[in-house]
Structure 1
Amino acid sequence: MDRRHPDAPSPEAAILDLAAELRGRDDLPDERWLLRFIRSRNAGVTDTSRHLRKRRLLPYLLAREEADPGHWERLGVDDACRERLVTLLRAKPRRTASGVATITVISKPWPCAGTCRYCPCDLRMPKSYLPDEPACQRAEQNFFDPYLQVSSRLSTLHAMGHPTDKVELIVLGGTWDDYPAPWRRWFVSRLLEALNDGCGAEARAERRSVRADYLARGLSADAGTRAGECAGLQREVSRGALAYNAAWARLYGGDPRWQALAAVQRAGWDRVEAAQRANEGAACRCVGLSLETRPDAVTEGSLAAMRRLGATKVQLGVQSLDGDRLFASDRSADADCVARAFSLARRHGFKVHAHMMANLPGATPEADKADFARLVGDRRFRPDEVKLYPCALIAGTALERDWRAGLWRPYTRDELIDVMAADVAACPPYLRISRMIRDFSAKDIVAGSREANLRQAVEDRLAAEGRPVAEIRQREIAGAEQDPGSLSLATFPYATADTEERFLSWQAPDGRIAGFCRLSLPHGGGVAMIRELHVYGRVSELGQVQPGAQHRGLGRALVEEACAQAAREGYGAVDVISAVGTRPYYRRLGFFDHGLYQRRQLKG
């Protein structure tokens, strides 16, 4: 690796050199080795614009493969070597290390029934989101169109070397149930249609067609143009002279371009169901659909509609269970409302993902710790997943005016890490903290934590103090290899207001988990419910076995154990809240389609 190249090598030559290096060794080199390899190829090339870049090698490999499927094989790169090359060149491997490729999409700007004092009110976005957040940037660049957001992201993940056969869709932006029902059906239909088209030529042609239609309507995806369109009204909103909803009505409600779009962005259930049937056998399957709403918007009817769309998880903006803090923040949903929403969602089989916020108006560090302890300890709550993040002061919010008046202050760094560490330490083993910081840009935060690696700081504090952590995210094996023979199946039971819950997990000797299953046993008997099944490890392409835990029968064994436990407790059947793309999997395990769920009868 010490050869000098006065002329910049081509990506093809570099890939063939890499293949030769890999054939000569048994192990897979690490990132540092790869960077040294690339630097050696760039040595002596004075024009840095002609340097090789890691991020360009894998897209080149995949593009040549797509244009000429036999190209690399003819040059001596067999399938095994090709897989090792993709693994070595893959960018940001953590993105699919938890077992699925996650794609976040943002819904269009829309009026919100809430008036929370800390909530950003940027007219370019649905309320509470900012244009500089990565997912929001992608949404704006794609006209908030669901097909464009998913299809372009699929293409990017594919170019980065990530398998995209299993995709979890996360829909964020305001309150899902505030949007018109025909639009919601259209939105989900287009999400699934993007997955069904995959990453090939058909998807590229459809993206070009959809973009051309938006441009023909006079709409712009340029951030600067949209900022200019919103500027005047945004200034009024930021100084508190105009409410977000009133400004939205002027900006979007009175714009014939957006009104014309609303007339065509509609769909019936027939289109949703056609997209779902196609996705069952698609190359990119939806293995999870998460929708965001407010606790006070949750009803039997809203959950049934979400389920018919194929949703498997509901994200609920809780923020706090303390009445005084909620009142000080102008929040409408109290603890009883949250408890009712949790109960309804769990009875419908949904995974419950709560958003909690530290440092709200009126909070203290000790009160925040008690608030989180109540969330995870009170039988009326006990969510499956949590977004736990500090309140950040964003310019133009009502909280900014409170701050300037001396009515609110951000926690110091030490106070904040102390609160977050206490919360993580209080987590039971069935709970996963998905994130600890919003994706707000540091320049958007007037006061409060700007620490992008807050989770790492919290984990470091816990490690330094020797406090054990049971929370799932710190225990998942991610992309690591694990000998299935070393795993043991453990059951952690806990009670909620309406159910007896069983958290079944495959555990390694060091406490890490390779997969888990959430089983709900409703009080009073009847039908049990599998609310989630997840096996960790690098996403494996359908029909192939990759390193990690997936495709080794661990999921099947979890399902069988869940059914056995339900039968022992006297339940006659088990339902599963399957995603659209996992329906064939559960059919192979003996489940049959049953209304909005899939069911297996149990032997008495």
Structure 2
Amino acid sequence: MCDIKNLHDIQDIEDIKRAYYPDKYSKEQWEIIINEFNDNKHLLTDKTELNNFKKRIQHKYKIVITNSNLIKVYNYLKLDDNILKGVITKKKGKSNSGVLVVTVLTSAHPWYYDEEGEKKIAKFSCKHDCAYCPNEPAHEGNNMVPQPRSYLFSEPAVLRANDNDFDAIKQMNARISTLVDIGHIADKLEIIVLGGTWSEYPRHYQDRFITELYYSANVYFDKEKRDMKTLEEEININETAKIHIIGLTLETRPDTITLDEIKNFRRYNCTRIQLGVQHTSNSVLKRINRGHDIECVYEAIKLLKNNCYKVDIHIMPNLPGSSYEIDCKMMDEVLYDERIQVDQYKIYPTAIVPWTKIKKWFESGEYVPYPDTELYALIKNFKIKVQKYKRLNRIIRDIPSNYISGGYSDKCVNMRQLFQNDIKKNGWKCKCIRCREVGSNMVMPENIEMNIEKYRSSDGDEYHISFDSTCEKNYLIGFLRLRINKNQENILPILKDAALIRELHVYANLNNVGNNIENSMQHKGYGKRLIEKAEEISLNEGFKKMAIISGTGVRNYYKKFGYELKDTYMIKNIEKSSCNVM
């Protein structure tokens, strides 16, 4: 058994004890775990061997070991064993997309300073009153804390936000710590901000919340935390921070999207917008008191795409005023109507929950949802038909069943898994990005090919350039979204006469930036080749300038290919250059 004194001198054993489980293990128990793990690590090549190891330790020393404990020991020993790290990492799927997603929520009634400098409390998180949308007040069950509009106290992400007082810094620290503790690399983060309608919060609160997100990432690993700087300073610091924010997603309504609002999004270096669309039928939108029509949605998507944004939308089948036939028409419009071609979908079948108008309609018999069988058929057909350049993020919302009194039954809670089983059983395939991500699967380079799909969207041409495996499962290695927009109206000045790279993503296990791990698809040049192809297409389309909407933490990646930061976008003259690394 190795001597504890010979371990890497990164911290005293008392430090690891205090930092992780101050009351769970004694110093002597930590020494046992570290020594046993160090002596047996070469045997831990799969889950079976890992479980056998944990059982032996439990039997021999009467110590229960979790994977989280072993991750801490792995980091303590400064080990560099990709196979071992994979065996002890929990929930590996959370980083198989190449990034870690961290979701935070805004407060229902935050404090802010108004234009006169007076401190106030916001009266609402969304000024609208859609019939399906819960507005949970303060009550004993939520510790007398009102919840942000549309969200319920016991939803997992909402519970975490409540545990951390809806404080941006606390939420970030807690979520990053959890992911690190189960073995993930906190290097590249996609931040998703939920809660109410972002664009209707006071500007001071918006600025403070986003500044705190960047600050949290920038100082997470610092033992001594410095004071928070300005929004602009924290964003610039993140370019070289240990934790890179490579994407920032904000959730808002289509009727808030204006060029001025997009300018504000750019101040935060927001890179993706989630829009609550809900339905394509104006009669349904009117019935649920949505407050806008479908034409507003078309304009919002066009404005966002023309300014280089990635766009996600929420769709809600089985709403009051709709029917199975109307929803089938909606799903086809979402798939094929060029005015509503977006990048990602969340399909949220209508759930009848407390603190909504539709609950009263349901109880009175005014609203009768169609049955689960039709709902299942509707979404299954959508999943089978969805194009390969789109991502179906969610099929059902993660609402605890105790809230749901109608809309769909308990049998539908795991609908995505039911679809997967059904598709596999019948030999069907889902072509969406989420189902084809290569993740931890290995593909030989000779079995990877570039493919290009062109389609119309919002009066522009979209090119989906991808690297796919040639095997039967058609794994997706990486892709790029290129927009050719020859209509120059309603765009930010920096984007004039520019082709637009709206997204670049290489899928694989998450690697530290600059860390060329052998069995990962990241950092193998696929991103560079996708950019080269996009530049080639843009030149052929008559464009001499390229703009990229880039997350703060990956700006330096694009700089290697000749791009410069100008007015929050990465810009390059592509007329007489290539993206060879300088």
Equivalent in the alignment of 1:248: none
Equivalent in the alignment of 2:570: 598
Give the alignment partner of residue 553 of structure 2, picking from 573, 576, 581: 581
1:415-467 CA distances to partner (integer Å, 9 max, x unpaired)?
22211111112211111011112121111112224444221111222333333
Runs of 4+ off more than 6 Å: none
Equivalent in the alignment of 2:230: 271
1:115 equivalenced with 2:129 (yes/no): yes
1:12 Cα shift?
4.6
Query: For residues 86 and 467 of structure 1, do their structure 2 counterparts lie closer, same or farther at Cα, with a shift above 3 Å needed?
Result: closer
Equivalent in the alignment of 2:208: 186
Equivalent in the alignment of 2:85: 86
1:377 equivalenced with 2:336 (yes/no): yes
Q: Is the 8 A contact 2:67 2:182 kept in 1?
A: no
What letter corresponds to residue 55 of structure 1 in structure 2? S
CA distance in 2, matches of 1:485, 1:457: 34
What letter corresponds to residue 569 of structure 2 in structure 1? Y
1:579 Cα shift?
1.0
1:524 Cα shift?
5.1
What letter corresponds to residue 337 of structure 2 in structure 1? D
Equivalent in the alignment of 1:287: 246
After superposition, residues 121-160 of structure 1 pair within 5 angstroms as 121-123=135-137, 124-160=146-182
What letter corresponds to residue 176 of structure 1 in structure 2? W
Deviates more, 1:10-19 or 1:443-452: 10-19
1:175 equivalenced with 2:197 (yes/no): yes
CA distance in 1, matches of 2:464, 2:295: 25
1:20 Cα shift?
4.1
Query: For residues 199 and 573 of structure 1, do their structure 2 counterparts lie closer, same or farther at Cα, with a shift above 3 Å needed?
Result: same
CA distance in 1, matches of 2:87, 2:30: 15
CA distance in 1, matches of 2:508, 2:351: 34
Gaps of at least 5 residues in structure 2 are: 1-27, 110-123, 138-145, 489-496, 577-582
Deviates more, 1:443-452 or 1:530-539: 443-452
Query: For residues 323 and 154 of structure 1, do their structure 2 counterparts lie closer, same or farther at Cα, with a shift above 3 Å needed?
Result: same
Between the two proteins, the alignment pairs up a number of residues equal to 515
1:22 Cα shift?
4.3
After superposition, residues 50-449 of structure 1 pair within 5 angstroms as 50-62=63-75, 65=76, 72=77, 79-81=79-81, 83-110=82-109, 111=124, 112-123=126-137, 124-202=146-224, 271-447=230-406, 448-449=408-409
Equivalent in the alignment of 2:466: 505
1:296 Cα shift?
0.7
Query: For residues 459 and 365 of structure 1, do their structure 2 counterparts lie closer, same or farther at Cα, with a shift above 3 Å needed?
Result: farther
1:19 Cα shift?
4.4
1:523 equivalenced with 2:486 (yes/no): yes
1:324 Cα shift?
1.9
Q: Is the 8 A contact 2:459 2:485 kept in 1?
A: yes
1:486 equivalenced with 2:457 (yes/no): no
How big is the alpha-carbon RMSD for the aligned residues of Structure 1 and Structure 2? 2.3
Q: Is the 8 A contact 1:97 1:536 kept in 2?
A: yes
CA distance in 2, matches of 1:475, 1:302: 34
TM-score normalised over the length of structure 2: 0.84
Query: For residues 139 and 538 of structure 1, do their structure 2 counterparts lie closer, same or farther at Cα, with a shift above 3 Å needed?
Result: same
1:19-44 CA distances to partner (integer Å, 9 max, x unpaired)?
444435xxx63334322332233237
Equivalent in the alignment of 2:542: 570
1:55-88 CA distances to partner (integer Å, 9 max, x unpaired)?
33223444xx2xxxxxx37xxxxx434x443322
Work out the percentage of aligned pairs sharing the same amino acid: 30
CA distance in 1, matches of 2:368, 2:34: 54
Gaps of at least 5 residues in structure 1 are: 1-8, 66-71, 74-78, 207-266
Query: For residues 367 and 29 of structure 1, do their structure 2 counterparts lie closer, same or farther at Cα, with a shift above 3 Å needed?
Result: farther
What letter corresponds to residue 42 of structure 2 in structure 1? R
Q: Matched residue of 1:56: which SS? A: helix
CA distance in 1, matches of 2:66, 2:387: 43
CA distance in 2, matches of 1:180, 1:395: 27
What letter corresponds to residue 522 of structure 2 in structure 1? Q
Q: Matched residue of 1:167: which SS? A: strand
CA distance in 2, matches of 1:52, 1:351: 43
Deviates more, 1:432-441 or 1:10-19: 10-19
CA distance in 1, matches of 2:440, 2:29: 31
CA distance in 1, matches of 2:180, 2:222: 10
Query: For residues 11 and 162 of structure 1, do their structure 2 counterparts lie closer, same or farther at Cα, with a shift above 3 Å needed?
Result: same
Q: Is the 8 A contact 1:107 1:173 kept in 2?
A: yes
Q: Is the 8 A contact 1:107 1:172 kept in 2?
A: yes
1:507 Cα shift?
0.3
1:189-212 CA distances to partner (integer Å, 9 max, x unpaired)?
110000000234235x98xxxxxx
What letter corresponds to residue 334 of structure 2 in structure 1? L
CA distance in 1, matches of 2:543, 2:535: 9
Equivalent in the alignment of 1:472: 433
TM-score normalised over the length of structure 1: 0.81
Query: For residues 273 and 513 of structure 1, do their structure 2 counterparts lie closer, same or farther at Cα, with a shift above 3 Å needed?
Result: same
1:36 equivalenced with 2:52 (yes/no): yes
Equivalent in the alignment of 1:537: 508
What letter corresponds to residue 43 of structure 1 in structure 2? H
1:410 Cα shift?
3.8
1:353 Cα shift?
0.3
Equivalent in the alignment of 1:262: none
What letter corresponds to residue 41 of structure 1 in structure 2? I
1:240-271 CA distances to partner (integer Å, 9 max, x unpaired)?
xxxxxxxxxxxxxxxxxxxxxxxxxxx9xx81
Query: For residues 85 and 16 of structure 1, do their structure 2 counterparts lie closer, same or farther at Cα, with a shift above 3 Å needed?
Result: farther
1:307-358 CA distances to partner (integer Å, 9 max, x unpaired)?
1210000000001001222122111121101000000010111100000111
1:74-127 CA distances to partner (integer Å, 9 max, x unpaired)?
xxxxx434x443322111111111110110010110422221111111132110
What letter corresponds to residue 451 of structure 2 in structure 1? A
CA distance in 1, matches of 2:444, 2:236: 36
What letter corresponds to residue 492 of structure 1 in structure 2? E
CA distance in 2, matches of 1:52, 1:461: 37
